[in-house]
C-alpha cells in the first residue's frame, strides 16, 4: 500500500519490515544493490535484533524460542510427537 500510494498511506507496511539477519547497519544481511534490496527499509537501531546477534545472546527472544521448541519436542505430553 505504501509503495502504491507513493508513501501517503503506509498500510501495514511498517509491520512487515524484513527480518534483520546480520550486520550492524541496514540492510542487515540483504544485498544493498537496487536490484535486490528490500523495498521496505529497516530501522537503523535494529542491530541487536539480528539473528546473528540473538544467536550469541543466551537471553534473547530467539534463544528462548529455540529452547521452548526443544522442550516441546522432548515432552510427549505436549503433543508434539
Write out pLDDT tens, residues 9-27: 877 766 677 889 999 988 8
pLDDT at site 13: 65
- 36 falls in which pLDDT band (50, 70, 90)? low
What is the percent of the chain where pLDDT is above 70?
A: 85
Task: Report the alpha-carbon distance of residue 26 to residue 7 in Å, rounded.
Answer: 20
Task: Report the alpha-carbon distance of residue 42 to residue 44 in Å, rounded.
Answer: 6
Q: What is the pTM of this model?
A: 0.66
Task: Report the alpha-carbon distance of residue 21 to residue 75 in Å, rounded.
Answer: 30
Which grid cell sits at 67? 529452547
Amino acid at each position: 500500500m505504501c509503495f502504491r500510494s507513493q508513501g501517503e498511506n503506509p498500510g501495514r507496511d511498517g509491520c512487515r519490515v524484513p527480518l534483520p539477519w546480520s550486520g550492524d547497519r541496514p540492510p542487515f544481511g540483504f544485498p544493498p544493490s537496487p536490484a535486490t534490496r528490500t523495498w521496505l527499509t529497516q530501522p537503523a537501531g535494529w542491530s541487536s535484533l539480528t539473528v546473528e546477534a540473538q544467536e550469541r545472546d543466551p537471553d534473547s527472544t530467539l534463544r528462548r524460542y529455540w529452547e521452548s521448541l526443544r522442550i516441546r519436542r522432548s515432552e510427549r505430553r505436549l503433543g508434539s510427537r
